[in-house]
Chain A
Amino acid sequence: MAEKKVTLNVYRGDSEGGKLQSYEVETYPGMVVLDAIHDIQAKQEPTLAVRWNCKAGRCGSCSAEINGRPSLMCMTRMTKFSEGEPITVTPMRSFPIIKDLVTDVSFNFEMAKKIPPFKPTPRQADGTHRMQQEDIDRIQEFRKCIECFLCQNVCHVIRDHKKTNFAGPRFMIYLAGLDMHPLDTLDRHELVKDEFKIGLCNITKCCTEVCPEHIHITDNGIIPLKERVADDYYDPVRWLLRKVGGGKKKEKAELPAAADPLNKTAAATPQAKQKDGG
């Protein structure tokens, strides 16, 4: 792990366009790509834009593409690259670029607002909710999600087909988690099918491959959710039961009332001002 110099090719640009620029940095033990980016920022290029928070793989802010692979910069060790191998860092390709390595991920925050939130059963007489650990293990896996949006970035429905009405893997596991929650009382299946378009996923599992939390997004989340929705709509017995209004305990969920889109700087959308605003 002796110190040596390596070259990084970093994307510099904005919505108007940009190009790769090369920077030389000195490595040190344990160094990750985000350290290298910070080193460039501090010593060579103070205007280099990068989004980060925790530098410990917990917050999911520093998502980018490293040699084309969607990754967290803070969890990618410099020792991963062999001597002389070029290291190229580019922003996530599926989201509009803001500047350099920073992209506009507001699509995800707007999608989150469309999902009807958790609505639990009443508490038991002693004031508790009782759930067995084995019944929540599978949902806890989905709740490890750090919202890095690398799965959204790599999902070809979003990336190549520009299907922005598809909720994407991140929200499919959120929906699956709500559906499997032992206490939840809402039936979101119709929304999962018609609004969030689960049918568009054809299970290429790219999302699972890039997940830094190693969540089995497809196998444990999307496929079971597809089956649950399919059972409702395509299983003849369930279909009949639904038609006659029986066999369902959960209340049908509606899309939440339209709210102002999250954030989005008013400078970019001046018309989005609060009604009561000045």
Chain B
Amino acid sequence: MSSSSSSSSTSASDKYETREHDVLVIGAGGAGLRAAIEASAEGQSVGLVCKSLLGKAHTVMAEGGVAAALGYVEPKDNWKVHFRDTMKGGRYLNQWRMAQLHATEAPDRVKELEEWGALFDRTPDGRILQRNFGGHKYPRLAHVGDRTGLEMIRTLQQHGIHCGMQVYMECTVTRLLVDRAATGDRIRGAFGYWRENGRFVLFRAKAVVLATGGIGRAFRINSNSWECTGDGQALAYLAGAELMDMEFMQFHPTGMVWPPSVRGTLITEGVRGEGGTLRNKDGKRIMFGYIPELYANETATAEDEADAWLRSTGVNLVGGSGQGGGASPKRTPDLLPRDIVARAIYGEVKAGRGSPHGGVFLDIHSRRSSEDILRKLPAMYHQFKELGDVDITKEPMEVGPTAHYTMGGIKVDPETQESRIAGLFAAGECAAGMHGANRLGGNSLSDLLVFGRIAGLHAAKYAKGHAEAAIDAGEIDEAMKEALAPFDRAEGPNPFLLHEDLKDKMQTYVGIIRNEGDLKKGLAELERLKEAASRVKVDGNRHYNASWHQAIDMRNMLVVSEAMARGALLRTESRGAHAREDFPEMDKGHFSKVNVVARGTATGMEVAEVAHPDPPPEIQAVLDEKE
């Protein structure tokens, strides 16, 4: 009855080829490339697996900049200020050690990029220019207009291909292979297939680095590219690693809302960094009404105060207020952290003060000269002109929240980025801990560089200290059978339509504002979808088959979605990106001291609380320091 598919699929006994490396890096965005460069520099044989072509990873879409306390624009800036800003933005749920490593090492990582050919915008005295961003006390983001991610990935790519690594493009990993020894789980390699012909490949490796990015594609409105389906998190979870902080999904405040074709596409925070302001349908600047207590001391409460601050940091506003006075020490509320701004927009729309298509207005046209807009935000100009029929030098943009980034991910050791599986490391968005409950803009690109390097370094060290070991043939057989199963079914759900279904359910029940009832409904829907995904059917052969790929992506997205929903249900408070309308306050007690982890058990996914590590006194002193 499945004659048409059995001729086109191939049986599990079909051969696979084998590749061997000391270190295998899965994912070729900023973190993966940086890890591969470091492991290569350590003299290791490195394989770099890209789900797409090299240089196309989601890093390419990062716009605003890379945060590093270089102190070129504001000499008062240093790692301590950056560390404090990061911990505060994360509502102190960050792993302090990761935030410390990040703040101290980011400047060197940025300078290193320059050494490899990156051309950041310059200050008048010829150094790297830095711009304002949400939650950063000082102008801190090194940038190239609004295409910083492109500059970064291209620089890493152009440097990396000369470092001796082997790059495997359009290759999808479906399983990690783990040795379950009495002394503990240990990584052995990975199994996957080449998109081009659908044939299988076994990667044997002493150490593996996961750098696969985020999970935005699980939401209806998202800013993420095709690749962001939670692969690394799911692979690690299925292999026995733990996921942490999954309840914290960042909704970026400014995605496009119109037309429907581009709903969710990112508008850089750099627009507000360059002086842009959010207005409701009455033209009123909305953010003055949404300043939380945590940020009250440092945030301007009136327009002229906010604009004076912008001017004092070098933003050349045209007209507007705040021209008379001297420098204001209080920042504009338009640059509050993303979770706060996203909920403010949500609030305005809910109160009926939104824009025609269900967002609010982002105004740069009345704030900066056309010339400045074209120079500082050229990609935004083209994006709106070509996809939205809006000229942002003349009209406001319509914006609304869009699923953007997951703070949660694979639980790793803060010093080495190693998971609980020996030899399995993770870096970048797929790892947890650096950003706590909410990530500051610009801290992602620096995260990729800092922790990509650390993961690559420690993976290389691990590989040097461990011999190769055999891989269980049964495990490979299982992986092949699992991958081919969708071809062998006579009928079953269409994987594309299942994905659409998932996006709607996550958006509705695990979205920007949550409550117990919705989360429970969401979990029930996920159970239904899991069952449907287990019966999914794909047509055709294995040759560049998008629906086959979608079927595998679905498994990954469902694992990560479930961890998000379960974590969100367990955390009965509102903190950072996780907002519960039934528990609107941030808990100063219990939930400020725990992280939530998800792990697999014989009966399914279990979530549990683990103690959040307190910083040692000398680091606490840095947090308490007054400037």
Contacts and interface: CB of A to CB of B under 8 A. Distances in A.
A268 to B, nearest CB: 7
Contact of B225 (A59, A136, A147, A181): A59
Interface in B503-552: 538-541, 543-547
Nearest to A178: B117
B387 A143 contact: no
Contacts of B116: 117-118
B544 A278 contact: no
A274 interface: yes
Given A46-B539, A143-B144, A267-B197, A29 B546 contact: no
B213 to A, nearest CB: 11
Contact of A268 (B20, B61, B197): B197
B201 A278 contact: no
Contacts of A140: 119, 121, 144-145
B161 interface: yes
B543 A99 contact: yes
Contact of B266 (A48, A56, A106, A120): A56
A21 interface: no
A102 B151 CA distance: 26
Contact of A278 (B18, B145, B262): B18
B53 interface: yes
A28 B260 CA distance: 8
Interface in B196-255: 196-197, 199, 201, 204, 225-227
Interface in A110-160: 112-113, 117-118, 120, 127-133, 136, 139-140, 143-147
A256 interface: yes
Interface stretch (B166-174, B289-297, B607-615): B166-174
Nearest to B18: A278
Contacts of A60: 56
B387 A46 contact: no
A58 B387 contact: no
Chain B CB within 10 Å — which of A30, A53, A57, A102 has the most? A53
A52 B19 contact: no
A76 to B, nearest CB: 9
A143 B157 CA distance: 13
Contacts of B115: 120
Contact of B52 (A32, A61, A75, A268): A61
B122 A131 contact: yes
Interface in A214-271: 256, 259-260, 262-263, 265-268, 270
A58 B62 CA distance: 10
A277 B379 contact: no
A117 B159 contact: yes
A31 interface: yes
Given A46-B540, A53-B57, 11 more contacts: A32-B387, A46-B546, A47-B545, A50-B546, A54-B60, A57-B387, A117-B159, A120-B114, A128-B126, A140-B121, A143-B119
A274 B126 contact: no
A58 B268 CA distance: 13
A43 B494 CA distance: 9
Nearest to A27: B261
B31 interface: no
A30 B545 CA distance: 27
A139 B260 contact: no
Given A102-B544, A113-B161, A267-B199, A53 B166 contact: no
B497 A42 contact: yes
A144 B154 CA distance: 10
Nearest to B8: A47
A46 B494 contact: yes
Closest 5 CB pairs of A and B: A30-B259, A130-B126, A47-B540, A30-B261, A118-B117
Interface string A51-72: 1111111111100000000000
Interface in A168-182: 178, 181
B288 to A, nearest CB: 31
Contacts of A81: none
Nearest to A115: B158
Given A140-B144, A143-B154, A268-B196, A263 B61 contact: no
A46 B129 CA distance: 47
Interface string B43-82: 0010100101111111011000000000010000000000
B451 interface: no
A71 to B, nearest CB: 12
A132 B53 CA distance: 34
18 contacts: A32-B387, A49-B543, A53-B225, A55-B226, A58-B61, A59-B52, A99-B544, A109-B54, A109-B161, A117-B162, A128-B126, A128-B127, A130-B125, A139-B119, A147-B154, A266-B17, A274-B166, A277-B20
B122 A29 contact: no
Contacts of A83: none
B618 interface: no
A276 B225 contact: no
Contacts of A147: 55-56, 154
B204 A47 contact: no
Contact of A75 (B50, B128, B150, B387): B387
Contacts of A87: none
A180 B383 CA distance: 29
B19 A277 contact: yes
Interface in A18-34: 28-32
A162 interface: no
A267 B57 CA distance: 24
Contact of A47 (B17, B144, B546): B546
Given A56-B383, A59-B225, A133 B121 contact: yes
B126 A262 contact: no
